[in-house]
Structure 1
Amino acid sequence: MITGTNGKTTTTSMIYNIIKEAGYDVITNSTGANMLPGITSCFIDNYKFGSSKERYAVIEVDEANLKFITKHLTPWSITITNLFRDQLDRYGEVYTTLSKIMEGVTLVPNTKLILNGDESLLGDLKVPNPITYFGFGLSPTNEKVIDINSDAKFCKFCKTNYEYNFVSYNHLGDFYCPSCGYKRPELKYTLTSVLDITSDNSLVEFNNHEFNVTQSGVYNIYNALCAYAITKELGIDDKTINTSLNKQESSFGRQEVINVDGKEVKIILVKNPAGYNQAIDTLCLSKDSLSVAFFLNDNYADGRDVSWIWDVNFEKLAALDLKDILISGERMYDMAVRLKTAGIPTDRFKISAEFSNITEYIKDCSGEKIYILATYTAMINYRKYLHSKGYIKKLW
């Protein structure tokens, strides 16, 4: 079972594909239906009467739903990817999210926990479960000071500001408390080298073995490292893992590339400040001029409060050569105001709530590659529109 704020869908897909590459029979809830009804449906759909063959299930689980799943199932392992502010009206702050997850963990005391050691909220959990940690052995950015808007900045035991040997992104990194001595736990699986990182992929080493991560961004290195840790715990060899990661395709809306009349449209899901900043950092790796679309919704699945966009570092985009700036979604004017405040030129704004208009704007963009940064329901709805027009063959 894979839970946490960011990276669940991509990490679940990576693990599923590695296990499948290793020749095992495996199922997963690939559509992202990660609450109790969706997970139940996944098992019903894949049930085989009279089958005694060993099978694996790689299941993405919503943070607040873990306790409903572990009430009925005892998984071999539970993984927590990270904890960031997300859907504040539903989860509250990160400590509430952790509490909801731990309600599910405490129901299965014998389940192995495979956790992100760079996440300060996940160290020293004081549970009987066996715990294995993965994390970064170095920082791709060499940062040592966290941003003012980072999430878990204070020691969870004594509330002193953490200090860092290095920061990977947001509050993740090699942390320690200068007051009470709490620090990052010992890691079993680590990022040992970054050989190359571009706007399209990353070439890295995990435990001194080389792997190619076909999705860009530091956050996808974390996803791949997490998948590596879990599948190594299953006894799968490095060659099989690398072969699978090399063939890894983006899950829907997670850096998915769609051809729209010759334009290469890459859709990136953004749902909280931590993930949005990572998406922006990925755009900053591009050496070419950019065309970018911003979709902002405030439905229940997105979080009704959109004030979080003011914690996103859109100011970084002002330094880029943005040729086309498209804005849509139910809160498109909130997004337009935020971008204007960040110093992005308003004379390049094209604003419309109609997907048909946005699609025509995309066709008219000066560049051949267009990035769409979209919140969850905006991403889902635009994909449905593209599917209705024949640009996407498989909706889910």
Structure 2
Amino acid sequence: MIAGRFSYWFLHTFMKGGSSLPGKIAARIDPDVLRALGQDYDVVIVTGTNGKTLTTNLITKVLRQQYPDVLTNPTGSNMMQGIITAFLAHGQHGQRRLAVLEVDEANVAPVSRYLQPKAYVLTNIFRDQMDRYGEFYTTYEKILAGIRQHPTATVIANGDAPIFSSRELDNPWRYYGFALASQQNTDIVAPPNTDGVLCPVCEHILHYHGITYSNLGHFFCPHCGFSRPALAHAVTGIDALTPTSSKFAIDDHDFSLAIGGTYNVYNALAAYTVGREFGITPEQIAQAFAYDEKVFGRQEEIMIDGKQTTLILVKNPVGLNEVLAMIQRQSGHFGFGILLNANYADGTDTSWIWDGNFEALVATGQATTFMVGGERCQDIAFRMQVAGVPEADLIQKPDLNDVIAAIKAMPEDHVYLLATYTAVLQLRKKLSEGGYIKAGF
């Protein structure tokens, strides 16, 4: 533990970084170090395919309305070594504290072995990084292996995701979801290429009273009767959605976020549900949501020589399509770029880009300049050409050193730049070296 704390201090004092290395060093010296570090904490574990980082950030802001000292892992370093590092950075205080931890799906069980979770927050499960997780039912089993270790922990889950109510557990459950007036007295099915539309009980096609996106919504099975569980808390109205803001109601209380996308309303709803479990009032939650602070790589606004650049992490087809839908709400023209890597943290299989609806973006004519880059530049360049971007009009920058200059040369005032995880890290390092953002996270 001492070696881990020293390495954390050294890296952050002299190297401006170190989100996982101190934890790796500490775990190598003492494999059970997390148990000692976390023994004085009530822990909230946040996991799922999409939305973990922002949901964790929002939950932390909500809980700090009443509990000022909340430990978290804000860099998104969500595997064992990163979580150990978060505890090393926080120090020991000798009294009961709160920790809100983003945890990679495959690490829920190992982390749960050492900590005492008070609650698990489940955002969603979509097809993602097939090389690491396999199909999404396999991913859910990895998460359940952690939850089953703590049968008294409350599970706060997205009730609009059919998979989360498909297994019996002893834990107390709280479901959240969308309950809009438009989701009544209708009977529709999801598009045929949507993942997760088979009933997890009888494998017939699920029907919906309303779909928010992908397979999320007010589902029911006309064959066996499986249906969405009762919701503890719900989005009851959507007032306005833009690429940079959201106005909505939860339990008929009005809220706003300085970030766009229906998927981010779900993240806010998850944070609201956790807050209510901890006794935070809707008024306090509204104050927490009103704090405008962009999270690393999540609609992060960066000015590059006067050009507004919005950096957005993408990693799977569902998230990609929601981002593409969101930016099409932008008024006026914009430049569009996407950086594709295929390292272990990104997922080595890049076939998911073919499920992205780039055709719809190209067809709108809103994006008037297109750029691709990253280590798998050729893959994404071919995908954009199939979507309708002429090869002669497509800017190709495999070397990220050239991406910043290419953004500066775009004629549009606003550029949306999508990137996979390691590409975000690499680009932010270049932006830091150029003085466009601060070093670190």
TM-score bracket relative to the smaller structure: over 0.9
* Greater alpha carbon shift after TM alignment, 38-47 vs 61-70: 38-47
What is the CA–CA distance in structure 2 between the aligned matches of 1:382 and 1:58, rounded to whole Å?
28
Counterpart amino acid of residue 131 in structure 1: W
What is the CA–CA distance in structure 2 between the aligned matches of 1:181 and 1:333, rounded to whole Å?
47
Contact 2:370–2:394 (Cα < 8 Å) also in 1: yes
Contact 1:151–1:171 (Cα < 8 Å) also in 2: yes
Contact 2:339–2:373 (Cα < 8 Å) also in 1: yes
Shift of 1:55: 2.0
Counterpart amino acid of residue 244 in structure 2: D
Counterpart of 1:342 (choices 373, 387, 392) is 387
* 1:15 paired residue number: 59
**Counterpart of 2:113 in 1: which secondary structure?**
coil
What is the CA–CA distance in structure 1 between the aligned matches of 2:316 and 2:158, rounded to whole Å?
19
Is 1:148 aligned to 2:197, yes or no?
Answer: no
* 2:373 paired residue number: 328
Shift of 1:365: 1.2
* 2:88 paired residue number: 44
Contact 1:323–1:348 (Cα < 8 Å) also in 2: no
Shift of 1:24: 2.7
Instruction: String of CA shifts for 1:86-142, please: whole Å, max 9, x gaps.
Output: 110110010000011011111111100000000000014210000000001128999
What is the CA–CA distance in structure 2 between the aligned matches of 1:214 and 1:158, rounded to whole Å?
41
Give runs of ≥4 in structure 1 deviating > 6 Å. Answer: 139-143
Shift of 1:301: 0.7
Shift of 1:42: 1.3
Counterpart of 1:62 (choices 100, 104, 119) is 104
Is 1:359 aligned to 2:398, yes or no?
Answer: no
* 1:116 paired residue number: 158
Is 1:241 aligned to 2:282, yes or no?
Answer: no
Question: For residues 204-353 of structure 1, what are the structure 2 equivalents within 5 Å?
Answer: 204-320=248-364, 321-353=366-398
* 1:102 paired residue number: 144
Unaligned runs of 5+ in 2: 1-44
Q: 1:162 to 1:212 in 2, by over 3 A?
A: same
* 2:178 paired residue number: 136
Q: 1:139 to 1:382 in 2, by over 3 A?
A: farther
What is the CA–CA distance in structure 2 between the aligned matches of 1:345 and 1:20, rounded to whole Å?
50
Shift of 1:144: 4.1
How many residue pairs end up in the alignment? 394
Contact 2:65–2:280 (Cα < 8 Å) also in 1: no
What is the CA–CA distance in structure 1 between the aligned matches of 2:361 and 2:192, rounded to whole Å?
18
Counterpart amino acid of residue 57 in structure 1: A
What is the CA–CA distance in structure 2 between the aligned matches of 1:272 and 1:261, rounded to whole Å?
31
Counterpart amino acid of residue 177 in structure 2: G
TM-score (norm 1): 0.96
What is the CA–CA distance in structure 1 between the aligned matches of 2:139 and 2:182, rounded to whole Å?
28
* Greater alpha carbon shift after TM alignment, 308-317 vs 219-228: 308-317
What is the CA–CA distance in structure 2 between the aligned matches of 1:86 and 1:260, rounded to whole Å?
31
* 2:25 paired residue number: none
Shift of 1:23: 4.6
Shift of 1:143: 10
Unaligned runs of 5+ in 1: none
Contact 2:300–2:310 (Cα < 8 Å) also in 1: yes
Q: 1:358 to 1:44 in 2, by over 3 A?
A: closer
Alignment RMSD (CA, Å): 1.6
**Counterpart of 2:327 in 1: which secondary structure?**
helix
